[in-house]
Amino acid sequence: MKTATSLLLLTSSVAGFSVLPQHSASSSTALYGLFDGVKDAFSAPPSELDAERETPIDIETPIDRWMGWSVAAENAPQKAQATPDGFIDSMDETNYLSVELPKPMGIIFEENDADMGGIFIQSLKDDGVAAESGVLKPGDQLVAVGTNQVTGFDFDDALGAILDSTDEKTKLTIFRGTAKQLYGPTGPSKEWLSTFCSKGGVEASA
């Protein structure tokens, strides 16, 4: 009787189990493979991991390789913007000059293109005081007369600022660069230029 009971229990126990579907084995294998990758990424000896912690940030680590991260591109130095040939910084006061001259000055001015405005020195009379001072040169852009800003003025208004000056010597401030460098995209901000002119430009050259 005991043997029959044992056999019955064994039979019942076997019947209580079901066979797992065939795909479970492959799923388990894939899952174990995932964790094996994680295990491999962190299984380096402590001394090796310590060495990697001390390496620069752009060195690829095991976890970077396993996750497919690329640190080289992220930490690649950005190329510096090349400075155009002949560039003159119009917000650098060292590119401006001032001179105090009596009238008549012996300067022949010419107007820039209409889309820019303002006037520049076309030439200097050989026997004029401007030529004798040795400060001004053909091509200089007139920026201020005294403390009055004249950038962008038409020819008559810019020249009128000089004619209207009642000082014994009239202070002229010029920018030593081209009209495009003064009025173009790389020109000074309105705020900077206004502040610069209101203080009379730079100290007059002797």
pTM over cut 0.75: no
pLDDT band at 10 (very low <50, low <70, confident <90, very high): very low
- Give the residue, 62 or 136, on which the prediction is more confident: 136
Mean residue pLDDT across the chain: 78
Beta-carbon contacts of residue 143 (< 8 Å; ≥ 6 apart): 96, 149, 150, 151, 173, 174, 175, 182, 193, 196, 197, 201
| pLDDT above 70 for 160 | yes
CB atoms inside a 10 Å sphere around CB 153 = 19
Structure tokens at 122: 């076309």
pLDDT of amino acid 48 = 53
pLDDT in tens, 71-84: 555 555 555 555 66
Q: Which amino acid is at 14?
A: V
What integer is the mean pLDDT of 130-159? Answer: 97
Q: Which amino acid is at 96?
A: Y
What integer is the mean pLDDT of 95-111? Answer: 97
Structure tokens at 114: 């209409």
- Secondary structure element (H or E) that encloses residue 200, with its range: none
| pLDDT above 60 for 37 | no
What integer is the mean pLDDT of 111-125? Answer: 96
pLDDT band at 9 (very low <50, low <70, confident <90, very high): very low
pLDDT band at 14 (very low <50, low <70, confident <90, very high): very low
